[in-house]
Structure 1
Amino acid sequence: MKKYFTILLLAIFGFTAITCTDRNDDVIVTNDNDTYPQMRDITGSLNSANQFTITQGINIAPEDVVLVYRNINSNNGNSAVWQMIPKTEFIGASRELDYNFLFNSQNVEIFTEANFDQNLLTAAEASQYLTNQRFRIVLIPASSTKNANVKYEDYESVVKYFNLPNKD
């Protein structure tokens, strides 16, 4: 019986040794050194003279992605707090001011739309919502596998995921 047990153990060990190969199924991560996200800050005022639009030239591939964030502390001197747009600001009881953007491979247009005449904002409201607004434009090369798990609405998550310099 001991002999059969030894043979059985030897057979199991031999089978395990033969079936375990040196094949390595590890995923190899390569760095794509010619395609990387970029960002730039722009500051501008949205008013009737520019049709409440700020345009910034860019140069990206047609399949790339653009994200835009607004510094919600633009005019108060505090540290930057970035909020993704599109975004609706509720001003008073029934007024809504929307920040939005459009882009193509050459330009990003950041604009506001409202359910009221934006020219009728008070000076304090215009200062808070339209004057000297700071936006951060993030240009991201498109890759369905690389960008799949990013929470784009969270600026800090985008900075961390794409290893962007976090400048104030």
Structure 2
Amino acid sequence: MKRIILFFAVIGLTTLSSCDGDTGPRGPQGLPGVGDGDTISEVFELQNVNFQLNQNNEYTIFQELNPVIFDSDVILIYRMSGTINAQTPIWQLIPRTLFLNEGELDYDFDFSAVDFTIYAGGTYNLASTPQFIQNQTFRIVIVPGYFSKGNNLDFNDYSAVVKAFNIDETNITVLNKK
């Protein structure tokens, strides 16, 4: 009896595994895989923005992100600290501490998937140095999460980041365009 059941089981499996039907519809495109070359770093710019003094006596710049970023992505923010000439800005990664005659000035930021805030704080009244809190320009670079694994890129070097992500600086989105 066991042999007959085994025999029918083998025949049934052979018959069912050799069936072939019509190919179903193609499924939706999935997300790009790690290191597939399809993931694109996004770059945004805030031009000539002023820090606002908030109710906590902090100087901040708040900006929503559109589109939102993935939980695994990170943001790098660079402050334009000067220019070599009209076509060559000097970018400094923040957080950054500046040591001035008035005291220390710190730039910092935080971010979520939907927004970011840039902070300016110091050991003195920042209103006495408006050149550091008014008409500031920042570049915001969204770094895909996979990129941080095993990479030795110097994120302090804006030019190296631009090169590593194949960023076309002629297509940078200005967030505060009037």
Question: What TM-score do the two structures reach when normalised by structure 2?
Answer: 0.65
TM-score by length of 1: 0.69
* Secondary structure of the structure 2 residue equivalent to 1:81: strand
1:165 CA displacement: 1.4
Of 156, 161, 164, which residue of structure 2 is paired with 1:158?
161
1:73 pairs with one of 82, 88, 104: 82
* 1:32 shift after superposition: 3.4
> What is the aligned partner in structure 1 of residue 37 from structure 2?
32
Q: Tell me, which stretches of 5 or more residues in structure 1 are unaligned?
A: 1-28
> Which has the larger share of strand?
2
Aligned-residue Cα RMSD (Å) equals: 2.6
Q: Does 1:134 align with 2:172?
A: no
Residue type at the aligned position of 1:61: F
Q: How does 1:15-94 map to 2 (within 5 A)?
A: 31-33=36-38, 35-43=39-47, 44-48=49-53, 51-58=58-65, 59-73=68-82, 79-92=88-101
Question: Where do 5+ consecutive residues of structure 2 fail to align?
Answer: 1-33, 173-178
**Pairs within 5 Å for 1:99-138:** 99-119=107-127, 121=128, 125-127=129-131, 129-138=132-141
CA distance in 2, matches of 1:132, 1:107: 21
> Are residues 154 and 77 of structure 1, via their aligned partners in 2, closer, same or farther at CA, if it must alter by over 3 Å?
same
CA contact (8 A) 2:105 2:122 kept: yes
Give the distance between the partners of 1:112 and 1:145, measured in 2 at CA: 27
Question: Would the aligned equivalents of 2:52 and 2:61 in 1 still touch at CA under 8 Å?
Answer: no
